[in-house]
Chain A
Amino acid sequence: MESLNNLMYGFGIALEPMNIAYVFAGVFAGTIIGMLPGLGPISALALMIPITFAMEPSSGLILMAGVYYGAIFGGSSSSILLNAPGVAGTVATSFDGYPMAKQGLAGKALAIAAYASFVGGTISIVFLMMVAPMLSKVAVSFGPAEYFSLMVLGLTAVVSLSDKSLIKGLIAAVIGVMISIMGIDLQTGTERFTFGTAHLLDGIDFLVVALGIFALAEVFYMLLRGGGGKEQPRNAIGSLKLTRSEVREIAPPIARSSVLGFFTGVLPGAGATIGSFLGYSMEKRLAKDGDTFGKGNIKGVAAPEAANNAACTGSFVPLLTLGVPGSGTTAVLLGALLVMGVSPGPAMLVDRPDVFWGVIASMYIGNIFLLVLNLPLIPYIAKILEMPRPLLLALILIFCMVGVYGMSFSVFDLLLLLGFGLMGLGMRLFGFPAAPLILALILGAIMEESMRRALQISGGDWSIFIDKPISMWLLIIAALSLLLPVVKQGLARIRAR
C-alpha cells in the first residue's frame, strides 16, 4: 500500500507537463542515438549530460532514464533492419530479427521487439518498486567498510563478465581509479597528480572521459574502418500487425525473460547484454521448435527484447538504493546525478523521494511512449540510418565538443577530450574493455573515501574489511568473480587436451 501511495506521488511529479515532455524527448532521442550503430546508451547518456546540467534533478534523471531505455529500444531497430546492433544489449535480437527482416517481416519483428520491451520494462518496474525499498532498508546499515567492499565487487564483476581479457579489464579499472583521484584530495587538501596546472586541481570531469572513450573513440574507429563502414542494404519494413496466435506464442517467453532480465540487471556487472543472451538461450532450450531459432523465430526476438529492457530497469536497483552502479551505463547516470547535486543511496528514498519515485513513475510513461509513439514512427525514424555517414560523423564530433565546452568552458578540457578519444581508440584496437574504466572513474574517489573512513574508524587496522561479515562476504564474492574466468579457462584447456 505504501509503495502504491509513493507511486502515486511519483506520478504527480512525472505527469507534470515539462516532465512528460522530458520523458518523450528522452525516449525519442535515445531511440535515434541507440539506433546508430556504434553509439550505445553510454554515448547517448554522456551526450545528454550537458542538457540536464541546469535541470531539476528529478527532471534530469527522468530525461536520462528515458534516453537509456529509448537507446535499448532503438538498438533493436538497427539489429533487426541492418543486422548492425546499435547497442550490445540488442545483439541477441539480431539472431532472429534480421532473418525475419530478410523474409520481409521487419515490421512484425519491430512490433514484437516493441511489445516485448514494453512488457519487459513494465514488469521490471513493478519488481523495482518492490525490491528497491527493501534493499534500501538493508543498505542503511552499511558502513564505509561494506561500501568499499561493495564497490570492489561492482568493479570485479564488471571486469570478469566482460568478454575481453581479465588482466586488461583490471588494468582499465586501475587506470579509471587513477584518473578519478587526480586533483585536490578533499580530506587533506593535498594536490595529487595535477602536474602543476590549475586546470587539474578539480580533477578530470567524467564527461570528458566518457565522451572521449566512447563517442569520440567510436568516430575514430569508424574513420579507420572506411569512414564508417560500407552502407548496408535496408530491408523494407512491412506490416507491424501481429496475429492472435503470434501474441499467444510470444506471451510466455516475454513473461519469463522479463523476470530473468530484471534479476540479471540487478546483479553488478551483468546488465542488458548478458540478460538478453540468457533470455534468448533459455527460450531456445525451452522451445519445442528450438531448431528454428536463428532462422527468424518470433520467440527469438521477443525473449532477448523483454530481457534487455527488464535488465535495464533492474540496473537502477543498485544505483538508486546503494548508490553503486553495476555497469558502465549506470555509472554515467550516477555521474550525471552527482553533477546535479544528488547522491543516490539508501537515504535517497527519504531525502529525495521526488527523484526516486518520479523516475519510477516516469518509466511507466516512457514505456507507453515507446510503444504508442515510437513504434508507429519507426519507419520514419529508421530514415536516420540513411543519413550520409560523413555528415553523421562530423555532427557527432561537434556534439562531443559542445557537450564538454558547454559544461566546463575550458579549452583545456577539449584537448583532454581528444586525448581520451585517442586513448579509447587504442583501447578498442588492443582489446581493452572500456566499461571497467568508466565505472572505476565514477567509483574510484568514493571508494578511496570509504576505505579511508573505514580505516579511520578502525584506527588503521585493515582487518575491519574482513571483521564485518557483509564486507567479508562481498570481498569473497569479488575474489571468486575474478577466479571464475581463470578456472573456466583452465577447465577448457584440460578438456581440449
Chain B
Amino acid sequence: MTRLNTNQIIALVLAALAVGYLAMAWQIRPFPLPRPIDSDMFPKVLGFTLLGLSLLLFLEKPKAQDVPEELDPEEQTGPLLLRPWSRVIVTSLALVAYALLLVPVGFVLTSVSLVFGLAWYYGYRRHGVNLATSLGVVLTLYLTMTRIMGVYLPTGLLPL
C-alpha cells in the first residue's frame, strides 16, 4: 500500500469534518412557517462544497509550498523543552494557563508573568530589562484600558 501524501491526509481530515458538519446541518430545526429557503440550506451547500473540495484536494499533488519546510536540525537535537515544536506547545500551555488564571489572579500579575516568563523561556537573559519592559507595557496597557478607554480588566489579587 502506498503512503498517503500530506494533501491526501489533510483531505481525509477535511472530508471527515465535512461529513460531521453535514450531519449537524441535518439536525437544524426547521422554521415553523414555510420559507423558500430555511436555516439549514446554506450549511448543507457549504458541507457538500467542502466534501467536494476535499475530494479534489485528495487528487491534487502537493507542491513544495504544501509541505512544511525542514526545521533546523541543530535545534531539533537540543534539550527537549527548547526544541521548535516544544516552544509552540509550551507557549500554548502558557496561554491556556493565562486564560484560566486571568480572572482569579488579575490582569497585571498574569500578564507580567506571561511576558516575563515567555521572553525568558525564549532565551532572553537580561532579566532586569525583561522585568522593566513587561511591567511597563502591562501597566501602560492596564491604565490605558481601564482609565482612558473605560474597559474593565480583572484586578484579581492586587488592589489596583
Which B residues are within 8 Å of any A CB, using their own CB? 6, 10, 14, 21, 24, 28-29, 31, 35-39, 42-43, 46, 49-50, 53-54, 56-57, 60, 62-63, 65-68, 71-72, 75, 84-85, 87-88, 91-92, 95-96, 98-100, 102-103, 111, 114-116, 118-124, 126, 129-130, 133-134, 137-138, 141, 145, 149-153
Contacts and interface: CB of A to CB of B under 8 A. Distances in A.
A54 B102 contact: no
Interface stretch (A60-68, A135-143, A329-337, A411-419): A411-419
Contacts of A51: 149
Contacts of B103: 411
A188 interface: yes
A421 B134 CA distance: 22
Contacts of B56: 167
A391 to B, nearest CB: 5
A394 B134 CA distance: 9
A157 to B, nearest CB: 18
A355 to B, nearest CB: 20
Given A388-B124, A406-B151, A406-B153, A174 B68 contact: no
Contact of A398 (B46, B96, B114): B114
Contacts of A191: 28-29
16 contacts: A167-B60, A192-B28, A224-B71, A226-B72, A390-B120, A391-B129, A397-B114, A401-B98, A402-B111, A411-B99, A414-B95, A414-B98, A421-B92, A430-B10, A431-B65, A456-B35
B99 A414 contact: yes
Interface stretch (A28-36, A177-185, A234-242): A177-185
A164 B65 contact: yes
Contact of B57 (A168, A391, A401, A417): A168
Interface stretch (A87-95, A296-304, A447-455): A447-455
B39 A190 contact: yes
A171 B149 contact: no
A399, A401, A415 interface centre (most CB from chain B within 10 Å): A401
A397 B113 CA distance: 12
B10, B54, B96 interface centre (most CB from chain A within 10 Å): B10
Given A223-B84, A388-B124, A415 B57 contact: no
B31 A190 contact: yes
A12 interface: no
Contacts of A389: 122
A170, A192, A460 interface centre (most CB from chain B within 10 Å): A192
A473 interface: no
Contacts of B95: 397, 401, 414, 417-418
A174 B122 contact: no
A165 interface: yes
A422 interface: yes
Contacts of A415: 96, 99
Q: Is the interface of A mostly helix, strand, loop or mixed?
A: helix
B4 to A, nearest CB: 14
Contact of A219 (B91, B133, B141): B91
A459 interface: yes
B151 to A, nearest CB: 5
Given A54-B150, A455-B36, A224 B111 contact: no
Contacts of B153: 402, 405-406
Contacts, number: 182
Nearest to B93: A418
B91 A395 contact: no
A429 interface: yes
A418 B92 contact: yes
A390 B123 contact: yes
A53, A174, A175, A219 interface centre (most CB from chain B within 10 Å): A174
A178 B99 contact: no
A484 to B, nearest CB: 17
B122 A165 contact: no
Contact of B124 (A390, A406, A418): A390
Nearest to B74: A226
A178 B46 contact: yes
A224 B98 CA distance: 21
A177 B66 CA distance: 23
B42 A411 contact: no
A175 B57 CA distance: 15
A165 B66 contact: yes
A459 B34 CA distance: 11
Nearest to A230: B72
Given A181-B42, A411-B102, A394 B65 contact: no
A223 B102 contact: no
A391 B126 CA distance: 10
A489 B135 CA distance: 54
Nearest to A51: B149
Contacts of B75: 226
B29 A190 contact: yes
